[in-house]
Structure 1
Amino acid sequence: MQTATASPRTGAEGVEVLLFDVFGTVVDWHGSIAREMAHDHPQVDGAAFARAWRAGYQPAMARVRSGELGWTRIDDLHRMILDGILPQFGLAHLDEAARAGLNRVWHRLDPWPDAVDGIRRLKGRALCCTLSNGNLGLLTRMAKRAGLPWDCILSAEVFRAYKPDPATYLGAAGVFDVPPERVMLVAAHHDDLAAARACGLRTAYVERPFEFGRDAPKDVAARPENDLHARDLLDLADQLGCPAAV
């Protein structure tokens, strides 16, 4: 039997669509990559490898935003970064098949423990959709493997613009034919949330203190500019008055 739930926080009144950042917010990219490296390449510092790979993410997208590169999917940007860091970790000998297989680790990222149940509960409150820089094939394979119960998968690929380009946030609102103020971005990254707010979206920050590993915790202190601040997606569901899973 379902129990009564609290009324949603004022900061989310009128919200019809919840858009989710994915890497770091919904899935544990660092832990997933470090675990795979420990299994397949135990001689490598998997934690450092994961962080080095991720460190190339923003600079690679900046090359697309600047026009230095034409539109390039994240799968292909990940591969460019991977090829660049392999020699640093003594893996320059990996052949094409091994490199392609390793690059697909981004399709195999594990969800945070609260993610699947959290999204399932939040779907009772609003449409739940990705808004990630990851490409559609990557996000779809990830969701299928991890059991992420999205209502819809949207990607920067749809709008051919990487966050924080306004085209992504406003484009997602347009897909659902709702004004930006009826859309809330859920993310563990303040820069993403700030860009969404600049477009008129509401924002919810989710704490992921160990996104970069337990040996590199990040500051997850609340900031007043966000409408909501949650420990995880289950806490966010509680704040939005979503029924508990049965």
Structure 2
Amino acid sequence: MTSSVKAIVFDTFGTVVDWRGSIIRDLTAWGAAEGLQIDWTGLVDRWRDHYNPQKARVRSGELPWTNLDELHFDALKAVFAEMGLAELDHDRMMHVNKVWHRLDGWPDTSRGLHRLKSKFIIGPLSNANVAILVNMAKHADLPWDNVFSCELFQHYKPDPETYLGVCKLLYLEPGAVMMCAAHNYDLAAARSLGLKTAFIARPTEYGEGQTTDLTAEQRWDYVADDLEDLARQLGC
């Protein structure tokens, strides 16, 4: 099977980067320096709670295409209101919003991607817009060959246009592209369209007590402990 796979695309938030831990660390340190008394952990969890509902509004057509930076900023303002916080000045609100551009990879991420890149075309297939993905790659040493942002397709996962869009851009049949994700729903959508699949568990993505995506829920083509283990399984 490995010989038929030419490209691997990766879910990014959770699979490649530790979004929750990164944001809490970044904003806690910054907030302390700014003298801000804010429950950053609570803010991050509330902020992420808006993620799927916002995407659903775009996917249903309730909202026109809106990229993730803009959705995040609208959600951030809503969370400040929910928590009874006065909004910060524009520059500081934008600094908070752009924390998604500064996310750290998991400990295995950069090494694993460099190994996989030696044999495959690699890139993120992410709901993040191009600016987030490019800046994040610079920050976290993510050696992408290309950035397959859903912004290019103006559809959010799991819309078929996203997975098939990658295949079209690379001039590859779906069976020559593998989706790697820590989320079973993402892999199920990719498999339904003919892509190969690789599952990596990230049991602390949502912090301690996570109850979802702890194990592979189907017989995916590959199940790995982390990206370095996936590279080993694929002969990299």
Place the TM-score, normalised by the shorter chain, in its bin.
Answer: over 0.9
Alignment partner for residue 197 of structure 2, among 184, 196, 203? 203
1:24 is aligned with what amino acid? G
Alignment partner for residue 145 of structure 1, among 139, 153, 165? 139
| Aligned match of 1:111 | 105
2:41 is aligned with what amino acid? A
**What stretches of structure 1 move > 6 A for 4+ residues in a row?**
none
Q: Does 1:22 align with 2:12?
A: yes
1:192 is aligned with what amino acid? D
| Aligned match of 1:160 | 154
| Aligned match of 1:55 | 49
Alignment partner for residue 120 of structure 1, among 106, 114, 117? 114
| Aligned match of 1:134 | 128
TM-score (norm 2): 0.93
Q: 1:211·1:217 contact (CA, 8 Å) conserved in 2?
A: no
Q: 2:68·2:129 contact (CA, 8 Å) conserved in 1?
A: yes
Using the aligned pairs only, state the percent identity. 48
Q: Does 1:35 align with 2:29?
A: no
The DSSP-based 3-state class of the residue aligned with 2:199 is: strand
**Greater RCO, CA 8 A, separation 6+:** 1
Instruction: Check 1:170–1:219 CA distance in 2 against 1; reply closer, same or farther (3 A cut).
Output: closer
Deviations 1:88-145 (A, max 9, x none): 3343231222111100000001111111010000012210011101000110011111
Q: Does 1:78 align with 2:72?
A: yes
1:204 is aligned with what amino acid? A
1:158 is aligned with what amino acid? L
Separation of aligned partners in 2, 1:203 and 1:51:
28
2:21 is aligned with what amino acid? G
| Aligned match of 1:189 | 183
Q: Does 1:231 align with 2:225?
A: yes
1:208 is aligned with what amino acid? R
Deviations 1:133-163 (A, max 9, x none): 1000110011111111111111111111111
The DSSP-based 3-state class of the residue aligned with 1:185 is: strand
Q: 1:74·1:133 contact (CA, 8 Å) conserved in 2?
A: yes
Instruction: Check 1:37–1:90 CA distance in 2 against 1; reply closer, same or farther (3 A cut).
Output: farther
2:175 is aligned with what amino acid? E
Q: CA RMSD in A?
A: 1.5
CA shift, 1:37, in A, is 2.7
TM-score (norm 1): 0.90
The DSSP-based 3-state class of the residue aligned with 1:140 is: helix
Unaligned runs of 5+ in 2: none
1:161 is aligned with what amino acid? H
Deviations 1:30-78 (A, max 9, x none): 0011112322335433332222111111110111111111110100000
Unaligned runs of 5+ in 1: 1-9
| Aligned match of 1:3 | none
1:113 is aligned with what amino acid? P
Q: 1:136·1:157 contact (CA, 8 Å) conserved in 2?
A: yes
Separation of aligned partners in 2, 1:21 and 1:212:
15
